[in-house]
Amino acid sequence: MESANQFNVPRSEATAVRLAVPGDGAQITQLLQTAKFPHLHVDWHLPGDWIGTPGFVVQTRPSGIQDGAEITACLAAAPDPLPAAWVRVAALRDGGDMTAVLSAMLEPILPWLRREGVTELGWLAIESWPNPWLPGLGFRQVNEIEIYVKEDTAVPPIPTIPNLHIRPVAESDLASLATMEAKAFVPLWRHSARALQLARSQAASFDVVEVAGELVGFQLSTRSRHGVHLARMTIDPAWQGQGIGSVLLTHALRGYHRRGLYRVTLNTQIDNIASQRLYRKFGFAASGERIPMWVLDLSERC
């Protein structure tokens, strides 16, 4: 019954919420650049990639020009892959009644997400401004992401694993990697084959690891402002605990160093103790910077 109770909030008669259309692209781009309250969690996409879908809406108000309207807020949510979705884009030009604006934009999106089979909607609060408002919208904080940093070239001894081979990813690997993601992670943290394809075109390095010809893991890294960011390292659950992650991480770090990239960052959930143990062994240190993770449960239908 959350829709009945959650979104009955007063709205200004001067504003309206509608689906974003391709002709809105220029205004949305400007809004994202100038808004007082922006949010971008697009991963490998561009913010405009979801324009034209039922998950991208804008709020407008009269512009003062005859028959004209200006976009004052926008919000986009998208599943990739199902059954989870993230709020990918949000922007509010100024303050005002934040609950009313966010509620008005979520209201038409949530039924569509449910029809698509989405059971939970995540919001990674990269910017802190949503945090006071999300509980009132039905979101609950379920975790935090912590940023780890390494700035030296030291690596610990690694095991020797027979028949292990590391090579650059191939297009033909992506479907298998998406299957591996589904085995290794809960829905919100999975990458689809399409997302991995987009990532491949933007990656600083993207390697897979095989043992006796079997694909058992991969790492994906991107350039950052001051070095490189380890965006993903996934090991098939059936092969975890055998040192494969250590071998793959060593390979990635040495590749960075050969290119003169010495500052390495990565993100991990604060309750992922196994990953933290691995990263600390390699000299990564928690930065103290944490990003709250919020989830809205969509599994209950009205």
Taking only the tens place, the pLDDT of each residue in 86-145 is 999 999 998 789 999 999 999 999 999 999 999 999 999 999 999 999 999 999 999 999
Q: Do 2-144+293-297 and 153-282 agree at the fold level?
A: yes
Provide the token pair at 252: 């990635």
Q: Residue 183 above 50 pLDDT?
A: yes
Q: Which two tokens stand for residue 185?
A: 């992670």
Over pLDDT 90: what percentage of the chain? 88
pLDDT beyond 50 at 4: no
Contact 248, 219 (CB under 8 A): yes
CA distance linking residue 64 with residue 92, whole number of Å: 19
pLDDT of residue 64: 60
Q: Which CATH number fits domain 153-282: 3.40.630.30, 3.40.50.720, 1.10.3210.10, 3.50.50.100?
A: 3.40.630.30
Q: Which CATH architecture has domain 2-144+293-297?
A: 3-Layer(aba) Sandwich (3.40)
At residue 253, does pLDDT exceed 70? yes
Mean model confidence pLDDT for the chain? 93
Strands 205-211 and 164-168 turn out to be antiparallel
Output phi, psi for 250, to 5 deg: -60, -45
The pLDDT value given to residue 254: 97
